[in-house]
Structure 1
């Protein structure tokens, strides 16, 4: 088994592996996969040293939670960290019988509808339902999930509910997970969250989180988990038709990604390795979260994450103005001799 570093989230004592597993893919994100493939994917993550797993009710209308819980059932509970999210309650529906959930991004039958709810009661109901789907008696981390259009309820009701659950010992760490940096910065500054999960806003192509979120997190001692390091595909395999933020990448960004790839290859590395190494280098970042739907994908991510990126690669990016001046980059290991 590969050895990955571990970090505690904020002051919580909850530890996460430096590379973590995002379970939207095993919830049939965009494409259907079978139970066996989902199990094999989680097994490969475990074998690669990944012991932090993130899921949500939203992912496949509960399918991700059920599959993740089943795949981890025989693992020692003390040896892994699991997070789920609140903010969308799942309610059964008959209206969409025979339909699918692809409008929400998941290749599953539309057996339930999502109802936004960041109330205190909604938070508790969501966690109870998640525990049932997971087959667990506790989760380690709970995030407020995508409260973009529900800020008032999330701050006034959802967050205090999570704070109470943490004080009761029901959950170990609390936070918020979003695809933006601005509201996460507010969570860091105005609440006592342990961690925020920021997707897609601190990558080789998008440095938004570097301006306020990451400095605020560092100042407050709040941990950051970075998701979307590949910006939904463009930094994994830049080519015409590649996706950026789940849409076809604009030509300007595709050209930039291809330039990054060319520089990486000139320094005998891969763009994937560089894309994972970049967010991990920031001192506020505790873990880099990668989504995978197959054992091959997760093994590749683990291999790329543990592959050193040449110091000259980062130097050339700075010279080419492809990195902001203040962005930390990996420090090469010291030669013990």
Structure 2
């Protein structure tokens, strides 16, 4: 397969390697606005031809649609890329007229229910293999466990499922070689710290909490990952769009304090003639725990824009200037040493 020479990093202690730039499969499934199936397939194909070797998907994305679309392309690829999907939601057929589509524009006709139990994890894994049409995936993430999704009271019984059997299922799948790595795919770092209490994990897909705009995950989460030999995949590097010229942060209109911080960061980027999205995309890799940055383009054209930002040269002085102006959290690793 042709493509550029991306740097590769190891996932935890697994020996599994991924390119530092990956492809997220949520947007391809049509969240908030429609993405034609041919366009979605073309985006996956374009990513693989560019040399990206890591593709992430999930049952939730388009209620099965993302896994179907991704599977059509990756199972024909040689060599096959690293594939991750998720557990925690089971899909069941439903009359489309009565379907809760959520934010998905054209999902498949399924409803979803949460299930983090032993049986739920095993069934979810098997169902994903069938939707993808592959014999194996490489990484399984526990999807959206935690209070950010379920609330404090709602999360308690679901966490009991994970701690009472779901984690055991994941360990069995990894120990048997059915998957190579296990982790969490979430939007809050605190639940990842709770997960460390259950045992060993290989990788965490954390969206939005370690970005150019926000480094709240730096301590104690990122430092614990280093100590425990776990990697971090950074999802949502543009913080829902605010770092690519949008007005959305955490899937809602950005508050003025966030807008003001973005303007300050952008001013530094302009002083160095660096596009803000390029700095946002490349920033997470300055941390040694991070193995991959996972944007979610909706088209080959959007992916080309991301690749241009990825190739942009960023001087070390940009990072040190951001630090000097208090726009990076103390302790943030940057070229030349921590802030």
Preserved CA contact (<8 Å) 1:48 1:299: no
Q: What TM-score results when the alignment is normalised by the length of structure 2?
A: 0.92
1:205 aligns with 2:213: yes
Match of 2:152 in 1: none
221, 225, 229: which is aligned to 2:229?
A: 221
Match of 1:182 in 2: 190
Once the two structures are TM-superposed, the CA of residue 188 in structure 1 deviates from its matched residue by 3.5
Could you say what secondary structure the match of 2:262 adopts?
A: helix
Counterpart-to-counterpart distance in 2, 1:14 and 1:106: 32
Once the two structures are TM-superposed, the CA of residue 288 in structure 1 deviates from its matched residue by 0.7
Residue 331 to residue 32, structure 1, CA distance change in 2 (3 Å): farther
Residue 171 to residue 111, structure 1, CA distance change in 2 (3 Å): same
Could you say what secondary structure the match of 1:107 adopts?
A: coil
Residue 189 to residue 119, structure 1, CA distance change in 2 (3 Å): closer
Once the two structures are TM-superposed, the CA of residue 110 in structure 1 deviates from its matched residue by 6.5
Match of 2:120 in 1: 122
Preserved CA contact (<8 Å) 1:277 1:330: no
Match of 1:88 in 2: 89
Please list the CA deviations of residues 94-136 of structure 1 after superposition, one character each: whole Å capped at 9, or x if unmatched: 2x527561xx221125621111001111111111111111010
Counterpart-to-counterpart distance in 1, 2:49 and 2:261: 34
Once the two structures are TM-superposed, the CA of residue 155 in structure 1 deviates from its matched residue by 2.4
Could you say what secondary structure the match of 2:184 adopts?
A: strand
Please list the CA deviations of residues 139-195 of structure 1 after superposition, one character each: whole Å capped at 9, or x if unmatched: 000001011122222222211100001111111111111100011123245411111
Match runs of 1:32-51 below 5 Å: 32-51=34-53
Please list the CA deviations of residues 287-329 of structure 1 after superposition, one character each: whole Å capped at 9, or x if unmatched: 1111111111112212212322122211221111001221012
1:284 aligns with 2:284: no
Q: How many residues align?
A: 325
Could you say what secondary structure the match of 1:229 adopts?
A: coil
Match of 2:150 in 1: none
Match of 1:310 in 2: 315
Preserved CA contact (<8 Å) 2:65 2:107: no
Match of 1:135 in 2: 133
Please list the CA deviations of residues 9-58 of structure 1 after superposition, one character each: whole Å capped at 9, or x if unmatched: 11212221101110001111111111210121112211322110000000
Match of 2:267 in 1: 262
Preserved CA contact (<8 Å) 1:29 1:107: yes
Please list the CA deviations of residues 235-289 of structure 1 after superposition, one character each: whole Å capped at 9, or x if unmatched: 1115xxx110111111111121122112101101111111112111100101111
Counterpart-to-counterpart distance in 1, 2:264 and 2:220: 27
Preserved CA contact (<8 Å) 1:98 1:109: no
Preserved CA contact (<8 Å) 2:100 2:111: no
Runs of 4+ in 1 over 6 A off after TM superposition: none
Q: What TM-score results when the alignment is normalised by the length of structure 1?
A: 0.92
1:23 aligns with 2:25: yes
Counterpart-to-counterpart distance in 1, 2:100 and 2:89: 18
Preserved CA contact (<8 Å) 1:188 1:222: no
Match of 2:56 in 1: 54
Which deviates the most, 210-219 or 105-114?
A: 105-114
296, 299, 314: which is aligned to 2:304?
A: 299
Counterpart-to-counterpart distance in 1, 2:99 and 2:112: 15
Task: Give RMSD over aligned pairs.
Answer: 1.6
Residue 98 to residue 119, structure 1, CA distance change in 2 (3 Å): closer
Counterpart-to-counterpart distance in 2, 1:275 and 1:294: 20
Q: Which runs of 5+ in 1 are unaligned?
A: 333-337
Preserved CA contact (<8 Å) 1:97 1:111: no
Q: Which runs of 5+ in 2 are unaligned?
A: 147-154
